[in-house]
Amino acid sequence: MFEAIKKLFGGASGDEQKTAGSADARECAIALLVEAALSDGIYADIEQEMILGIIRDSFSLDGEAATALLESAETRAEMAVDHYAFTRVIKTHMLKEERVALVGHLWDVTYADNEESPFEDSFIRRVAALLAVTDHERIAAKKAAQRRRKGG
């Protein structure tokens, strides 16, 4: 009965809220990947391709769906005033392992153009803290991304 009343007033059921929250967290995570690419002032095509690859691999989406999700996240990133709005949603709906993996993907995106920037490093340090990812986990994710970049 309570679910019927919630639906009557536009409230979503628990499962619907969880699904909507997960989709929102996914878009927030992708927006952070875009922000990472932008943190050095240049959004290179190779960074965008890296993000599309991460979307396809992480969420098992085809090219068209991945592109649509990226475009939506790019718009969201463009309108963002801070990173807290994204990290709050992610912390609520993603497990710790997923947040650590996200930090690894942030490093992958920043290394996609084969350049290291202190702006990118600073961005990831701030975001990792907001995601409750420890310095140790952040550094381990960075080293893993460096190994992936070198192909080993």
Give the dihedral sign, CA 79/85/89/94: positive
Instruction: Note the pTM of the prediction, 2 decimals.
Output: 0.84
Q: Read off the pLDDT of residues 100-140 as tens digits, 9 standing for 90 and up.
A: 999 999 999 999 988 889 999 999 999 999 999 999 999 99
Give the dihedral sign, CA 87/125/97/79: positive
Q: Read off the pLDDT of residues 32-47 as tens digits, 9 standing for 90 and up.
A: 999 999 999 989 999 9
Residue ranges and CATH numbers for the domains of the chain are 22-150 (1.10.3680.10)
**25: closest CA among 95, 82, 78, 114?**
95
Radius of gyration of the chain measured on its C-alpha atoms: 16
